[in-house]
Every structure is written in C-alpha cells, then in structure tokens.
Structure 1
Amino acid sequence: MIHTTTSRRSFLKTGVAASGGLLMAINLPGTLGQAMAAGTVSTPNAWVHIADDNTITIQVAHSEMGQGVYTAMPMLVAEELNVDLNQIKVAIAPPDAAYVNALLGAQITGGSTSVRGGFDKLRVAGAQVREMLKAAAALEWNTDVGSIKADKGILTGPGGKKSTYGQMAAAASRMPLPEKPALKDPKDFRIVGKRTKRLDTPAKTNGTAEFGIDVKLPGMVYATVQQCPVIGGKVKSFDAAQAKGMPGVQAVVQISDGVAVVADTWWRAKKAMETVKVQWEEGAVAALSDTSIIEGTRQALSSGKVIPITKPVGDVAAALKGAAKVVQAEYVSPMQSHSPLEPMNFTAHVQGDKVLLIGPTQFQQGAQGAVAGALGVKPENITLKTTFLGGGFGRRLELDFIVQAAEISKAVNKPVKLLWTREEDMTHDFYRPAGVNQMQAGLDANGMPVAMHFKVASQSVTQRAFGLPKDTLDPFMAEAAVAGYNIPNTQHDLVIHDSGFRVGYWRAVSHSMNAFANESFIDELAKAAGQDPYAYRMKMLNGKPRFANVLKLAAEKAGWGKPVAAGRARGIALMEGYDSYMAQVAEVSIDKDGSVRVHKVTVAADVGHMVNPDTVEAQLQSSIVFGVGAVLKHQITLKNGRVQETNYNSYEPVRMYESPQIDIVLVKSTEKPGGIGEPGTAVAAPAIANAVAALTGKRVRRLPITADALRTA
C-alpha cells in the first residue's frame, strides 16, 4: 500500500469548458503538498486529463530522448486506471516545481531515474483517479462503491448501470482525494511488465514528431554561432563587414560567449559566418592539453585531499603487509564527447519581458532560470515547451545553447531558431572528465584478495554545475567505485582535481571509468592467482544472489568455458548501477590492421520490476554499442586548449558493420525498478578489455584500445 497525505484542497479541479471534460492534477505521496509545508520541493506531480470523449492525457515530466518514457509513464497510469494503452495520450510537462525529480532534486531527466522515480508515484496517480471515478458513480447511482467496476474506460454498477470515465469525470472532481488508494497486486498486471510497442513510434516514422530542429514559428529567422576555439574564451573584436552584405543576412550580433549570424535561412547564416573574422581572448585554458590534464589528475592522487567514498572495512594496510602477493595497477579513462545526432539547437522568441522557448532540453527549470538570469526577466514570464530530443546522453542538461538563442532573439526582436554546426557541437561540449584510477590488492596463498584499495581522481561535474562545496564527496564521481565482491579489508577514496576544462555528465557518468578499473583489476587478480576469471568472481559473491545470478546467466548464455572460434577470446565483467545488476561477456578478435573487432556481447540484466521489457532490451542494445565506441575508438584530445576532434570523421561512431551481435537475458524480478539507460555502457568497457587481454596477453590500461595502443602495450 502506498500512503498519501495529500489534502482535498491540493486536488486541482479545472473544468475544460470546450469539451466538458476534467483536468485533474494528482498530487502524489510525499510530493509538493508535503514539500511546501517543509519549505522544500522533493517530488513531481502527475497530471491526468480525462476528456468527455473518454481519452486520457498524461503530462510526462521527463524528456523523451529515445529511452521510452513516453510509453513507460503512461503504462503505469493506464495499469491502475484499468484502461488500454491506446486510450492514453501524452503531453510534455512545462517547467514547474510540481515536476521536480525527487531522485535528482530538480526537474531533470538523467541518471536513469525516470522509471525508478515514477513507478510508484504514477501508479498512485492512476489509482487515485480510478477510485474517485468509482466514488462519483456510487454517489450518482446510490450504491456502494464496492459494487462499482472500472475497466477499459467504462464504469459499471448494479442493474446494468454504465458510464464512461469521461461522462463521470466532472462529478469525480467533487470527490475527496483518496489518501491510500489500493494498488494492484503485480500478479494482476495487464500492461506493466508486458512487451509493448512504443507510443511515439508512429510519429517518429511518419514525420509528425517534433524535434528541436523541426520547430517553426511565424516570422522566424535562423542563426548560427561562432565560439572561441578555446572553450571559455571571449570575443575581443570581430569584423563582419563581408557577412552583413551577403544575401539573406539580417544581423550579426555579439552574445555572451561568441558571435551569431542571423539570416532568412540557416544555410545563408552558416555561409555568412564563414566570412566573420573574430579576435579572441583565449584565457588560461589555452595552455591545456589532454596529456597535461591526465598528468595533473594522476599527480592529484598523491598530492590532493583524499575524500573517503565509504567507511573503510577492516585494516587494509595491515592486510596488504601480510599478503602473500600484492598487485597494483593504474587505469586511465580519457575525456569523452556526447555527440548526439541532433546538434545543439533551440528556438526563442523574446517580446519585452515575455519569453517563449521551444526545444530539446533535459533540464526544464534550469533552462527557465538561466534565461531569466541572462535577460533580466522573471522566470514566471518564460514559457518553455520541450520537444523530442535527438539524443541527449547528458549534454542537454546544459543550458549554454538555450541562453544563446534567447540572447539572439532579444537582439533582433524576432523569433530565432539557433542551430549549431556539427563542428561547434563537437568542439564546445561539456565533456565526460578524464579519470585516473589506482588499484592495489593483497592476495592470500590461494590467490584470493584479502585487501583492496580503490582510489580515483577526476573532475567533479557536480561542483561545476551545481556548486557542490569544495572537498565534498561527489556521489557522481563514486558510482561503481565499490564493487559487489566479498573482500575482508577494503578502502575506497577519491580526489577531486579541477583541470580548469569544461566537463559535464555523460552516459553512465563515473560508472564508466570506475567499472573499467574495478573489473579490469579483478581480471588481473584472477590471472595473478592462475584462476578462471568467471570462477574467481563467483568465489567472492557468497550472499550476493543478484550479482551471482546475472554473472552465472551471462556466462552460461555466452558458453563460457567452451571453445571459441579460432582467433577469438572472451572477457567477462560485472557491475551494479542505479539498482540494476548486470554482467556482460564480450567475444573479440583482432583485425588485420590490428584493431579490435567485437563479435558478440552477451548480457544478463536484473533491472528489478520491468515496465516494458521491449524498451529494456532496446536500452541495453543502445548502451552497449555506445560503450563499444568509448572503449575502442573515442577520446577527446586537446592541443593548445583546442579540441582536435571536430566531426564524425575524427570521432567516429560505431558503424553498423562494427556493431556486435547482442544476446540479452532479462531476469524476471519483483524488486524495485532499476535504471537501465546507462549501466550497459559502463560494463561493456571492462568486458571488452578483458577479452582483448585474454586474446593477446596484453593488458591495455588506458582507453581507447586502438591498434596503436595494442602495439605499444
């Protein structure tokens, strides 16, 4: 049973005059009502709109960027409302404190939190509406509410009485909001947990889905920008004389972090921008290289302030001193770009102190607040509409491009669609920070670890983005730092090192570097002990049934221990991330040019209670391919502060022919839902690295594992 203390007053009743329907804003347990009393806002509201034609519209508070929330969220409501999913329509929620993501503390889509945060809340929303409809029918038909059934949008009662939800919606608005609506037993689910076709697929295939790049407004003009080649640099001066005389060009304006050209078409704006000559004040970042960033990060491990991730267990120093063998290793993860298919873009229309913003964002409140601050207007005077996102991966948590669009619109007094070039997008990202992990373990006479010391240095995105106080533990640096193995003496530390370069959250955030270090190191320990990597891991998983189960399932499905084709080898890795437990087995070979080819990845995943298994599989496929790119190809390099990778020819995506066969085993579970959009990316790296080491005998400890890296290993 889910408990709610939401008051009758907090149930907003708004009659929809044109349709005779009802818009019902359901305050959810422990949400805005309670939070306001405590002076804080902690969880979102879910909005349910029942129209007189008996269609139901759900306002989803999460941005859709391919992860399937426009289907999963309605499935939760439809389940408790006892309606078919095809009766549900989806609307995108506007910025509002009512839609704060409780797991992240803001109206943010990220961290694989959508289903985790919405599973109970949206079911309660549906159950509350269902019970109010039944109560209204019971009152109107003068019968006991227990005799009323609500199913497929129809209310039925004794004597053949019948009404649609839409016909009863207005009366339902006068019913008290139930504080403790009964939720379905999962064994009775008809929708949740079943493979379901995505609701947004038709619109995305027939061209009616609106992405930011598709937005059109009456009288709209187009803009592109030129920013300093060194991120953070400022304009000293610029010469736009030639650009201003080119066809269609309407203005060339300086904005806070660059120069924008505005024209009647985007192509004309782009061609004119190529003639604009800018003198830049590059700033201190111009002295950086990727090598200096990594070396500074490495040095910080010995000179920086150590922040414990967890309380130490046992006495690591003593256990290392008495160990039969001590193993040490260092692992390096480079900076990574988000590089979504749809470059950064946003449409803005500034009219005096009123602002309209339309586009792809993962952070609605942040966008509203940033533009309000930049333009000196009140946040409540800003209307923001979220479109579909053509990829996010954390990049669209940032607000730079949204502020730029608003600044340009204000300067030209017209609605403006800003669209970055691919080169601007690639070279002005908020990159996944570089990380250096140092590992140390002591083994007993049987080769099993008696002590483990994990230490990581990296940059704190949370410090940069949200003002985390200095020398404070950043949980987004510590993800997957503590592995699931039983080791008697353990210590886990981190050091925050600010390189000065701009960094951001990236798919799987620090899981990606910490899992690479932990799981590569476990393989190295198994080799030092002369044991099979799978069996070695299983020995350390007593009392860890979810870990052990996915490891066993992945190994069995992949044929671990059975011969592989000539010239191939397998590697295995294990991790928990965002309450999901996952093991992967990668099968690799080496091509004639010395590069690694991943033929197959077998994954076993226990993600708790699944809403839509079809989406879970799609997310695993997507995240694994994303991970293949990160481990074999991708890194952001700097020269004189300038990003050297400028387009997909120098930051190559994984091509179709390079994508591995992906075999998936999903564990049926009644545990609380886990996140699934990101962990697969993190587990792919060590699984592939371990397979490469098994095949070649060479351990590459610095990503990516390129042909050159293998030759010099």
Structure 2
Amino acid sequence: MFPINVNGETHRAESSPDKPLLWVLRDELGLKGTKYGCGVGVCGACVVLIDGEPNHACMVPLARVGDRKVVTIEGLSADHPVVQAWIAEQVPQCGYCQPAQMLSAAALIERRRSPTDADIDAAMSGVLCRCGTYARIRRAVHAASARKPGAPKPLRLPELLSDLPPDAGAAPNQWVWINSAGTVTLMVNHSEMGQGALTALAALAAEELDVEIEQVRTVFAPADKRYENGYWGGAQFTGGSSSIRGEWARLRKAAAKTRLRLTEAAARRWGVDAGACRTESGCVVHAPSGRRLAYGELAEAAARLAVPRRAPLKQPDEFRYIGRPLPRLDIPAMCLGKTRYGIDIAVPGALVAVVARPPVFGGSVKRFDDKGARAVPGVRQVLAIASGVAVAADDFWSALRGREALRVEWDAGGHARLSSGRTERELTAALDRKGRVVKDRGDAPRALKRAQRVVESVYRTPYLAHVTIEPMNCVAHVRRDACDLWVGTQHQSDTQEVAARIAGLPKSRVRVHTQFLGGGFGRRLETDFAAEAVELSKALGVPVQVIWTRADDLQHDRYRPAHAMRVRASLDGNGRPAAWMMRIAGSEFALEGIEMPYAVPALREEHVEIESPLPTGYWRSVGASNNAFAIECFIDELANRAGRDPLEYRLALLAKAPRHAAVLRYAGERAGWGAPLKAGSGRGLAVYESFGSVVAQVVEVSIVQEAIRVERVVCAIDCGTVVLPDAVHAQLEGSIAFGLSAALKEQIRVASGRVQQASFEDYPILTLAEMPAVETYILESGAEPGGVGEPAVPVVAPALANAVFAATGRRLRRLPLRLGASQARRS
C-alpha cells in the first residue's frame, strides 16, 4: 500500500509499485480526467502535475511518486485563470486532450507570468490535439497569463445526459420533454465529437420553442428508428457533416409544433382565442390581459392535444440563438474534467479486456499458449474470439501485461507479401485500364487525341489512419434477455444491430448508451470494437470493457484508402481547358467526393475500382480528401502552362459557379493575393465543394533547407445559414490542422502484410509549434445549412502543394508532401 497525495488529499493506493500513475488515478481514485492516449509518453493526454511540473502519468510508476504532490484536472478550481480562459476562448472541440493541455498551461504560467509564443511552443507541443485546437490554446494561454485578479465569471454546468432522467416530464413528441419546473429535456440524435452538434441542436429547439437556452438539458438519444439521420436517412448515425443539415427543418418544426400546442393549452385554460396569445422565455402570455403561464404548468395538457399539421417557423430577423454568439453547452464540463467519454465508463463488476489480433491483414489464430498470461495477477480469463485472442482482467493494466505474456502462433493468410510498394504498383497499373464512365460531356478522348497542347499528370495519395486521441473502446453487458452498451459511437443503428446479432437478442432488447467521443473522424462509424465487447460479455457472463491500445488503433484501423488519379487536359488558343479527362483508381471510398466546377467543354470521368487489401472506411471528408488534391493541383498546372495567374485563371472558369468564385475571390483579397513575399516563400490556393459547402484557402509557405514551413492559412467558407458562428470558425481551424497533418506528415506504411507504425512516434501528427497563423471567414449565402466539420479538410493539401510550387518551381504530386528528387519535378 502506497500513500499518495493527489489534489491536496492523501490516499492509500493498493496497486503494485510498477503500475503507472495513470491507472492508479483512473481505476483506484476514480479521477477520470486524466486520459489514456498512447501509453508510451508521446501523445501527452495523460499529463498531470507532480510538484508543479508536467509529467506523463502513463510513464510514472506508482513507486516513483513518493511524497510528491500530484495535481490532476480535478484539482484546478473553477476560478483558476486557465479554466476561465479556456472557457472564454471556447478552446475544446472533442475535449479529450484538454485536461492535459490545461495542466501544461497552468504549469507554464506559474513559472512564466508572460510567456512568449516560443515559450508556449516549447511547453505545450508535447500534448497532441487531433481536433486541432492549437490556435485557441495559444490565445487562451496568453489570456490566462494576462488575467487580472478579481471575481471570476460565474460558471454554469448544463446537464448533459446519456439517458432520459426520471423527472423528464411530459413528452409532446420524441424530441422534447417538459417537466413541471419548466426544464426542457431535448433528445439529441447525433453524437458529440467536438463539432458542436449538441449545442447547435439545443439552439434550434430553444429558438422555436421560445425558451431560454439555460432551460434546456440534453440527452443522447437511444438507438431507435425514430432518430435516424435527418439528412441521409436509413439509420441513426453521425457522419457526412449532417448533424445540422439533417435536423435544420425537422427539429425546428417539431419544436414549433410543441410551441403551438402549449399556446393552445393556455388558451383553453383561459377560455380565450389562441391568436391572442404569444410565447416568450418559456411562458405563454395573453397579451390583452397580461396573464401568463409557464410551460411547466401546461406541458401535461399540451401533450394530450392533437399535433398541428403545420407550424410557422421563425424568420431570420426573429432569431435569438441561430446565427448569434453562443458558447457551447458542453465546454465547461470539459474544462473541469467532468465530461465522460466511453473509456471513462465504470460498470460494477466489469472486467477489462485487450485483444491480440492477427498482425497480418486477413490472418487468423493457429494456436496460443495462455500460461504466461494467466499467471499475471489480475488476469481472469483468456479466450479466443472472432477477432483474435482476448485477455480479460480486473483492470486494463493487468489485461495489457497479460497480453504481453500471451504466446500466439498466427496463420498469415493471403496477404503476407503485401507492401506499400505493391499497392502503389497495382494502382499505377489500374490507371492503364479503361474505367467505368461516370461523367461524359462532349467527347474528351477525341478532343485530346486531336489537341496540339496536352498536359498530363498523375497524383497519388496514401492510406491514412484516423488516430483519435481516445482509442477505440466499448463496455457491453449481455444478459439472457437484454444487452446494454456504453460507447462513444457515431453509428447507433449499426452498433445495436451488431450487438443484437452477437447476443442473440431482438434489437428492441439492445440499449445503446451513447457517450461523448474523444474524436471520431469517421472511425467510430465502425462497430468492430463494440462487437468484441459484446462477444466477450456474452462468453464471460459479466460486463466487459474492451480498450484498444494505440498500436491496436494504428495497426487495425479502417483506413482512408490510397488512390491514384491520372488527369489529362488540352488547352485552347487562349490557354483555357478545352477537354479534361480524369481516371481515378482506388477502392470505393476513394471514388466519391469528386467535384469539377470549372467550365470545360468536354469532360470525362472514369473510375477503376480495385479491392483494397487493407480494411478501409470513412475518414474525415472521405474521397474528397483524395480527389481535391489532384483536381486543384492540376488546374494550377494548367494556369502555369497558360502563363496565367492561378486566381484569375480559376475565376475565369467559374462564371457558372458563383459560390466558388465568391469564396475564392474573398480568400484571395484577405490573404493579399499578389502582394510580394520574401525570397523562398510562396502562396498557393484551392477551392472545393463538399458536403453542401464551398471552401477556398490561400496558404503561405516558406522553404528553408528543403523543409516546408506553413506560415499562414486564410480560409473562407460558404456554408449557407450558420447556426453557431464560433463553432464554424472552430471547425475550420481544426480542419486546417487536420489537413496540414495529413498533407505534411501522415501515411500508413505496410511491409510483409503488416502496418509498420505503432505510436505517434512513427505516425506523427501536427503539433502546436507547427500550427500556422489561421484566419477564417464565413460568407453567408442564405441557403440552408451546409456541412462544416469536413469541407475545409480537402482544400488544404492542394493549396499547400500549389504554394510550394510558387516558392520553388517544383510540382509535388504525391502526399505527404516532401521536397526531394523522388517527390518533386520542375514544371
């Protein structure tokens, strides 16, 4: 037993001396604000303060803590300058890494009262943020260090629930409950992974209900066909930048109809005409007499009234919340370490399991020796499951040590000779095959054959991982007649269906309790990690939490596919494209998100689908992330061949695409397009439409000793009507960081059928020190809302590659971008 001082209190830890402090804090003391992200001291998610200095809790054995004082995020008071600054600057997106960011910031401002940007870079770059909140982190550190003593801003913690509470009250429909106190409980059918959906949907409901946003508490909806995605339909899931697009009309109409029923209930009680009544701040008011009734007094009666066929929606000039500055409801809890993610769920009696999976794709278990694993204290069971061999134990640390002691002989299967080079050769060969014609206007092949000036290039993109900072995890509890899952999922319907199949139960007996997600990016649309938890719980007869390690996460992902595109175009006498032909090779996820806005008389698009030997899935912006790179770089090549300015060249071809032209022109103006830059620097631009929105970016780079440094990114978006303006800016900032990381750093490498990377050391992502200055602008068009979480991602890589060309004269046609003989050629 070890005495340990945490947040000013002395505890007695009963763990073994070599157990990492991280798991003592989480498992024994219940301090879940300290997060697991990699387990090898690279991601920084587990940072705590020990005697005031940041330490990776995953790397500090309990025995080394001694009498030193440990502070976790729970030890920062609500009035701490860092907490106040983080909330004021609205820093978090998914929030998973933010406790570590805040503790690092607290230590920094304690030793340097006025830190410089260089100080911030040095102190904060060891904590990774996949959401890309770096610009806001920097602002918040400066704000915290400058905060004057005095009364802090009062902190309100809205109720954020994963299950419907018993005091919800009356339910006029499947979205809204109102209790006698007037509290509105809103059922949220989308997952919250940092995009601000929870707050935006609450704003839509509060707007049309005519209640104060402070009256609204939220509940994540159970898996139920009534809550299917309002944009895509067919299932309940969050993806494709659809949270607001799907519920913009549906949720507002439901709230407006509820408002009418409340008004009618009040009118009947008073014996007056409903037309003489109005609503405000959760009350119905009879204008002539001044009488008023709170919604809580009317909810029961209103729920019994017939649902009106129509309800007028508010007009933009009546909006109180839509399009107005509104802080996110979930950020205060994130900044106090109170948000519960899937990995934080603790079900009484649960075992924790890790799974040894075949290292080669398509491999299987031949046999295994579990004697060493079973000898590890805390290990309770070792068993084969569909995905490999599972070790179940009292806690994660014991299960992980048990897996390390496990001996498995694998059958490599048919992919033992798979490599990255082989995949590229297959994609290259596919470009020489005739593909399925998807678009065909004019006769591009004939025009190209007759043309005098033809430009041709091939662009390549690699496999990419999602690397959410919260690894995959799920808790399942299977009983004879029911199954419960606690999971951060993007796909409630598939999770329920898979669990029902494995548990042998009807779907109606499977309950999915959605938790906050520590990043999604499409990875949590999959159900592999949930399936493992259900299978293990059924086999062992107890609740089981499956947790993946970072190596598991990297080596068994559902990857963004690799792809190749060959583009050919002919130029007329004025240098404009007369014919354009593109042939795209890749798996299905790479053969979508293809948009060609430029006016070209003859256009042909062909797809050559090849089966991916690696499992692939949805990755933030999906195929647009592959294809925008090729299309927007190639149009830049044509401008260069025509001797034209890249901006003016594009604008001349966008006469029939006014939204593209508007954001492109605006981004160029704000970036100072055409203004001189210092030697070794360059600007590049790109514009692309995806998920109902159009984004343009201008990137400025400097080149020093063949290293690409991004100095500035200017981004403009037309996403139609905006619900939460600050959340839009946050998503653009984060998307730029995500896109830069992919463009400069990321690629999955395969050799002998195995992914070679195992941590953020060999699969690095962008750090705070590498984040450029970012400016974001919103051009509202009055259209219905478009997507926001993904459309800025595809634009980054081509704008960056075009900037590198402007600075060096070398054209990079392969991601990630590298300046070198094998990567670049002069154009």
TM-score by length of 1: 0.90
Once the two structures are superposed, the pairs formed by residues 354-433 of structure 1 within 5 Å of their partners are: 354-433=482-561
CA distance, structure 2, for counterparts of residue 372 and residue 286 of structure 1: 34
Question: Which amino acid letter does the alignment assign opposite residue 148 of structure 1?
Answer: C
Paired residue for 2:569? Answer: 441
2:687 counterpart of 1:687 = no
2:777 counterpart of 1:665 = yes
Corresponding residue SS for 1:605: strand
Q: Percent identity?
A: 43
Paired residue for 2:262? Answer: 133
2:195 counterpart of 1:67 = yes
Q: Deviations over 1:304-362 (max 9, x none)?
A: 6x22333x112213322343411011000100000100001001111224211101111
Corresponding residue SS for 1:79: helix
2:825 counterpart of 1:706 = no
Question: Which amino acid letter does the alignment assign opposite residue 635 of structure 1?
Answer: Q
Query: Given the alignment, which residue of 115, 135, 149 partners 2:278?
Result: 149
2:477 counterpart of 1:346 = no
2:236 counterpart of 1:107 = yes
Q: Deviations over 1:661-682 (max 9, x none)?
A: 1111111221111101111110
Question: Which amino acid letter does the alignment assign opposite residue 659 of structure 1?
Answer: M
Q: Deviations over 1:1-33 (max 9, x none)?
A: xxxxxxxxxxxxxxx99759312325xxxxxxx
Paired residue for 2:351? Answer: 221
Q: Deviations over 1:444-493 (max 9, x none)?
A: 111111111122111014xxxxxxxxxxxxxx7221x2321111111112
Query: Given the alignment, which residue of 743, 768, 780 partners 1:631?
Result: 743
Q: Does the 8 Å CA contact 1:482/1:492 hold for their aligned counterparts?
A: no
CA distance, structure 2, for counterparts of residue 20 and residue 450 of structure 1: 63
CA distance, structure 2, for counterparts of residue 169 and residue 224 of structure 1: 48
CA distance, structure 1, for counterparts of residue 617 and residue 815 of structure 2: 19
CA distance, structure 2, for counterparts of residue 66 and residue 451 of structure 1: 42
CA distance, structure 2, for counterparts of residue 18 and residue 353 of structure 1: 23
Once the two structures are superposed, the pairs formed by residues 225-624 of structure 1 within 5 Å of their partners are: 225-303=355-433, 306-310=435-439, 312-461=440-589, 477-479=591-593, 481-592=594-705, 594-624=706-736
Unaligned runs of 5+ in 2: 1-163
Q: Does the 8 Å CA contact 2:739/2:794 hold for their aligned counterparts?
A: yes
2:170 counterpart of 1:22 = yes
CA distance, structure 1, for counterparts of residue 819 and residue 441 of structure 2: 40
CA distance, structure 1, for counterparts of residue 612 and residue 220 of structure 2: 38
Q: Does the 8 Å CA contact 2:350/2:543 hold for their aligned counterparts?
A: yes
Unaligned runs of 5+ in 1: 1-15, 27-46, 462-475
CA distance, structure 1, for counterparts of residue 231 and residue 195 of structure 2: 18
Residues 247 and 516 of structure 1: is their aligned pair in 2 closer, same or farther, counting only changes over 3 Å? same
Q: Does the 8 Å CA contact 1:550/1:605 hold for their aligned counterparts?
A: yes
Q: Does the 8 Å CA contact 2:169/2:178 hold for their aligned counterparts?
A: yes
Paired residue for 1:466? Answer: none
CA distance, structure 2, for counterparts of residue 536 and residue 322 of structure 1: 24
Shift of 1:108: 1.3
CA distance, structure 2, for counterparts of residue 263 and residue 352 of structure 1: 23
Question: Which amino acid letter does the alignment assign opposite residue 319 of structure 1?
Answer: A
Corresponding residue SS for 2:432: helix
2:307 counterpart of 1:195 = no
CA distance, structure 1, for counterparts of residue 542 and residue 243 of structure 2: 36
Deviates more, 1:664-673 or 1:522-531: 664-673
CA distance, structure 2, for counterparts of residue 403 and residue 446 of structure 1: 59
Residues 313 and 222 of structure 1: is their aligned pair in 2 closer, same or farther, counting only changes over 3 Å? same
Query: Given the alignment, which residue of 96, 114, 123 partners 2:224?
Result: 96
CA distance, structure 2, for counterparts of residue 562 and residue 573 of structure 1: 18
Shift of 1:595: 2.3
Q: Does the 8 Å CA contact 2:230/2:247 hold for their aligned counterparts?
A: no
Paired residue for 1:32? Answer: none
Question: Which amino acid letter does the alignment assign opposite residue 143 of structure 1?
Answer: V
Query: Given the alignment, which residue of 741, 754, 757 partners 1:642?
Result: 754
Q: Does the 8 Å CA contact 2:813/2:823 hold for their aligned counterparts?
A: no
CA distance, structure 2, for counterparts of residue 482 and residue 261 of structure 1: 47
Once the two structures are superposed, the pairs formed by residues 152-171 of structure 1 within 5 Å of their partners are: 152-157=281-286, 158-171=288-301
> What is the aligned-residue RMSD (CA, Å)?
1.6
Corresponding residue SS for 1:309: strand
Q: Does the 8 Å CA contact 1:233/1:257 hold for their aligned counterparts?
A: no
Deviates more, 1:537-546 or 1:512-521: 537-546
CA distance, structure 2, for counterparts of residue 23 and residue 545 of structure 1: 45
Q: Deviations over 1:108-164 (max 9, x none)?
A: 110101111111111101101001101111111111111111110011113222110
Paired residue for 2:6? Answer: none
Aligned length: 660
Shift of 1:600: 0.7
Paired residue for 1:80? Answer: 208
CA distance, structure 2, for counterparts of residue 643 and residue 709 of structure 1: 26
Paired residue for 1:469? Answer: none
Question: Which amino acid letter does the alignment assign opposite residue 591 of structure 2?
Answer: M
Residues 19 and 436 of structure 1: is their aligned pair in 2 closer, same or farther, counting only changes over 3 Å? closer
Shift of 1:547: 0.9
Corresponding residue SS for 1:456: strand
Deviates more, 1:561-570 or 1:599-608: 561-570
CA distance, structure 1, for counterparts of residue 592 and residue 351 of structure 2: 45
Corresponding residue SS for 1:89: strand
Question: Which amino acid letter does the alignment assign opposite residue 468 of structure 2?
Answer: P
Paired residue for 2:136? Answer: none
Shift of 1:707: 4.3
Deviates more, 1:315-324 or 1:539-548: 315-324
Q: Deviations over 1:525-572 (max 9, x none)?
A: 011111110110011111321111101000000000001233210000
Question: Which amino acid letter does the alignment assign opposite residue 592 of structure 2?
Answer: A
Corresponding residue SS for 1:699: strand
CA distance, structure 1, for counterparts of residue 498 and residue 424 of structure 2: 31
Shift of 1:268: 1.1
CA distance, structure 1, for counterparts of residue 787 and residue 173 of structure 2: 26
Q: Does the 8 Å CA contact 1:309/1:478 hold for their aligned counterparts?
A: no
Corresponding residue SS for 1:679: coil
Question: Which amino acid letter does the alignment assign opposite residue 697 of structure 1?
Answer: G
